[in-house]
Structure 1
Amino acid sequence: MTWLITGGAGYIGAHVVRAMTGAGERVVVLDDLSSGIRRRLPAGVPLVDGSYLDGPLLRRILAGHGVSGVVHLAARKRVPESLERPTEYYRDNVGGLATLLEAVADAGVDRFLFSSSAAVYGAPDAELITEDTPCAPLNPYGETKLAGEWLVRAAGSAHGIATACLRYFNVAGAAAPELADTGVFNVVPMVFDRLTRDEAPRIFGDRHPTPDGTCVRDYIHVADLAEAHLAAARRLSAGGAGGDLTVNIGRGEGVSVRELVTLIGEVTGDRRPALVEGPRAGDPPRAVASAALAARELGWTARHGLGEMVESAWRGWLLQHPR
């Protein structure tokens, strides 16, 4: 079978492509290259430069490449931007998903894996967030991911498509330096960027109800995340997932922002104190996954620790920003 991977030239997408092709799966990538990078893809992997909002293009790809499963990663993903441009986020993340699902149903594709987010949970008062924790997203980005899950399940039920939704927690690291995150929107590259510009890293709020007052998060190595996609895709191929498989992808271990910044200082050798600023609106004090369901349903557990994430991300940063 052949898998269509939307957003496959992006930071996460390129890792998913490598994991799946490395395991012998055939893939074709659709990416508009707005943030994706062509050279991230292994030799021989077909790349279609285009958008998942383009229905006719989707139908040509699905038919021309004999696609029988889709991994949908492409989306708008910046929380602050979603607050400024909510209509664009709903148009692309929900409307574009509807266009893709229509093409999938018309083509008779019967497997669909959706990239969701822990942002669907909002700020739950829970030591560990399980898949049964009520969803109450705090921003348009999280809302579009939750609406996307509803749409995927509804389309799966209506058209006999086996579906799965993976709720990512905080992604970091790189399987190889050339695959590292080139954006400065996630916390690890944001700290790297500040240090590279000879500025102190920033911490947003130090009076949260956590042990050291800073937000606590669950960080997952992007290579582990890619392996989770492979496990979910194979579960769908085996016909055992049904239409309602939704799992958290995290390590189940909380790390405070201050602890993370301290570790980054040890790895980079730049241990300057962090600058504490006011808390950001909508930041949950704690967001840590229960990873038990992923282990039980997918046979998947994370293998990489936080130190590996920071060290591998730093190697990638230095490749992109040589001193």
Structure 2
Amino acid sequence: MPKTILITGAAGSVGRKLTAHFRSKRHTLLLVDVAAPPQDDLIEQVDLAEWGAWADRFRGVDCIIHLAAHADIDADWRSLARNNIDATLNVFEAAARGGAKRVIYASSGFVVEGHRDSDLPIDEDVAPAPINPYGASKLAGEWIARSFSASRDLSVICFRIGACGGDGENRSCLQLGDTLWQQRKWLSDRDLRDAFDRGVHAPDSIRFEIFNLVSSNRGMRWDMSKAERLLGFRAADGGVPRVPSPRERMKRRLKAWLASVLSRFSPRPPKAGAMVDAPRKG
């Protein structure tokens, strides 16, 4: 049955992928972003960190997919607090006031990044271990989600997203960097779309749950059994991580350098305010 879905951060990489997916399924979409591209008049420009009239857009929505966030792992606390915590508080408040049936919150694998050097499986009950302010801000978002689920009777699903490959093609874990850890966090576009689709249509009996979200990559330590049990999600894709050769690393760096040089001579589009892809740093 078609639903009304509001997507925050719709101009970001993941936002565009999910918008295209849910549009193809004939759902009614409401799209917001802090920096709506001028060529896309379907995305409304709003600053979610400042409470305002935009909250009226949340009335009568079946599901809110909250992607909007500052995803730079080197960002300062002031920016992260405003864009990842203040905005998330406002989104959940608007969802509760507007009578939304469910909120899907885009969390991050950086919430448990501190376990990268251990040998233990990483399930959703492992102790949080953020290693930077970005991961801590996403953990705060999960706490906000849990609180609103309990106190305002919202159904909430949190996805701890791995690494989506950013803009452009996302066909291989090998594009994510030189470390096996980063490559093992790869999440394909197909698995991303399937998981969020299942989140939108999950049973009403789910009141608050956190799910790992990565593809079935060789050597991965993320336990995906909970998502399979409660959502019926099983990754369709997977990668075979490997450390690139010195020649491959040099080619990649040269390509990145050339792209940066060329970008200086090209007009830059407005920066989207909602990139939830896990950063590519290892």
- Please give the alpha-carbon distance, in whole angstroms, between the structure 2 residues aligned to 1:130 and 1:37: 37
Pairing 1:61–2:38 present: no
Counterpart residue number, 2:210 = 246
- Please give the alpha-carbon distance, in whole angstroms, between the structure 2 residues aligned to 1:37 and 1:129: 38
RMSD: 3.1
Pairing 1:123–2:114 present: yes
Counterpart residue number, 1:73 = 67
Write the letter of the residue equivalent to 1:294: A
Partner of residue 99 from structure 1, selected from 85, 90, 110 = 90
Counterpart residue number, 2:175 = 188
Tell me the CA shift for residue 52 of structure 1: 1.8
Secondary structure of 1:289's aligned partner = coil
Q: Which has the higher contact order (CA 8 A, sep 6+)?
A: 2
- Please give the alpha-carbon distance, in whole angstroms, between the structure 2 residues aligned to 1:291 and 1:231: 14
Counterpart residue number, 1:200 = none
Does the 8 Å CA contact 2:72/2:134 hold for their aligned counterparts?
Answer: yes
Partner of residue 169 from structure 1, selected from 159, 162, 168 = 162
Does the 8 Å CA contact 1:110/1:160 hold for their aligned counterparts?
Answer: no
Secondary structure of 1:170's aligned partner = coil
The superposition leaves residues 41-69 of structure 1 with CA deviations (integer Å, 9 ceiling, x where unpaired) of 7xxx9421222223223323224xx3232
Counterpart residue number, 2:221 = 288
Q: CA 1:239/1:116 → structure 2, altered by over 3 Å: closer, same or farther?
A: same
Query: Which runs of 5 or more residues in structure 2 are unaligned?
Result: 241-251, 263-282
Tell me the CA shift for residue 101 of structure 1: 1.4
Counterpart residue number, 2:235 = 302
Counterpart residue number, 1:4 = 6
Tell me the CA shift for residue 223 of structure 1: 2.8
User: With structure 1 as the length reference, what TM-score do the two structures score?
Assistant: 0.66
Counterpart residue number, 2:99 = 108
The superposition leaves residues 121-149 of structure 1 with CA deviations (integer Å, 9 ceiling, x where unpaired) of 12211343111111111100000111100
Q: CA 1:152/1:181 → structure 2, altered by over 3 Å: closer, same or farther?
A: farther
Q: CA 1:216/1:288 → structure 2, altered by over 3 Å: closer, same or farther?
A: farther
- Please give the alpha-carbon distance, in whole angstroms, between the structure 2 residues aligned to 1:107 and 1:77: 27
Counterpart residue number, 1:218 = 185
Does the 8 Å CA contact 1:15/1:223 hold for their aligned counterparts?
Answer: no
Does the 8 Å CA contact 1:216/1:288 hold for their aligned counterparts?
Answer: no
The superposition leaves residues 262-310 of structure 1 with CA deviations (integer Å, 9 ceiling, x where unpaired) of xxxxxxxxxxxxxxxxxxxxxxxxx731111111111112223338xxx
Write the letter of the residue equivalent to 1:142: G
- Please give the alpha-carbon distance, in whole angstroms, between the structure 2 residues aligned to 1:74 and 1:2: 18
Partner of residue 26 from structure 2, selected from 9, 24, 27 = 24
Does the 8 Å CA contact 2:5/2:30 hold for their aligned counterparts?
Answer: yes
Secondary structure of 1:301's aligned partner = coil
Q: CA 1:159/1:230 → structure 2, altered by over 3 Å: closer, same or farther?
A: same
- Please give the alpha-carbon distance, in whole angstroms, between the structure 2 residues aligned to 1:126 and 1:13: 33
Q: CA 1:96/1:293 → structure 2, altered by over 3 Å: closer, same or farther?
A: same
Structure showing the higher strand proportion among its residues: 1
Q: CA 1:215/1:5 → structure 2, altered by over 3 Å: closer, same or farther?
A: closer
Q: CA 1:49/1:305 → structure 2, altered by over 3 Å: closer, same or farther?
A: same
Does the 8 Å CA contact 1:6/1:71 hold for their aligned counterparts?
Answer: yes
Query: Which runs of 5 or more residues in structure 1 are unaligned?
Result: 174-178, 192-202, 205-209, 256-286, 308-313
Secondary structure of 2:201's aligned partner = helix
- Please give the alpha-carbon distance, in whole angstroms, between the structure 2 residues aligned to 1:146 and 1:7: 19
Does the 8 Å CA contact 1:3/1:70 hold for their aligned counterparts?
Answer: yes
User: With structure 2 as the length reference, what TM-score do the two structures score?
Assistant: 0.74
The superposition leaves residues 221-248 of structure 1 with CA deviations (integer Å, 9 ceiling, x where unpaired) of 123112211111111xx31211x21100
Tell me the CA shift for residue 169 of structure 1: 1.2
Does the 8 Å CA contact 1:9/1:38 hold for their aligned counterparts?
Answer: no
Tell me the CA shift for residue 252 of structure 1: 4.1
Does the 8 Å CA contact 2:10/2:33 hold for their aligned counterparts?
Answer: yes
Secondary structure of 1:19's aligned partner = helix
| Percent identity for Structure 1 against Structure 2 | 23
